[in-house]
Amino acid sequence: MNLEAFKKITSFVFDIDGVMTDGSVHVLETGEHYRTFHIRDGYAIERAVQAGYRFCVITGGKHEGVRKRLQNLKIHDVFMGSGGKSKLQIYQDWLASVDIPEDNILYMGDDLPDYEVMLRPDIFATCPADACEEILSIANYVSPQNGGKGAVRDVIEQVMRAKGEWLKF
């Protein structure tokens, strides 16, 4: 793997289900849903936020517990529920509102709603090991970890290690 691609990254864009979680939806007797996040992914996000990296989350879900988790991780650019827009449209709107060259952005998705964003020629497209076949076939980097099981930490760590920042405390 060419580390040069990781060295250019200043910003991360993540999906939730299947990327930051394992894609499972747990349903309680009350009908409420909850998701499980990996603590090491969260730790890596916290380290990267402290180091000045920017984060954006684009997800079709609208669960308040997920929003609270992202707030706790200090992720401010959070787009939940599509409002009739595709992920590509949401991503393009976000991109137009920030001053970040697209070749400095790492995107991690796992399923077909992420496909159009990941096809953009300047973005660094990544996915978890257990992404769907179509996503695996277009990713610039496939994490050896599954979604919700360390894939987020893997890509953050790859970027920070490539820049010699991972072990800086």
In whole angstroms, what is the distance from residue 3 CA to residue 26 CA? 37
Question: Which runs of consecutive H residues, i.e. helices, occur in 8-72?
Answer: 39-50, 64-72
Q: Which two tokens stand for residue 135?
A: 């996503």
Cα-atom radius of gyration of the chain, to the nearest Å?
Answer: 15
Nearest to 85 by CA among 52, 121, 55, 58: 58
Q: Is 15 annotated as a binding residue?
A: yes
Q: Is 17 annotated as a binding residue?
A: yes
Q: Is 110 annotated as a binding residue?
A: yes
CA geometry: angle 94, 95, 99, nearest 5 deg: 115
CB atoms within 10 A of CB 116: 15
Q: CA dist 102 to 52, 96, 122, 124, 168, Å?
A: 17, 10, 6, 8, 26
Binding residues for substrate: 17
Binding residues: 15, 17, 110
Binding residues for Mg(2+): 15, 110
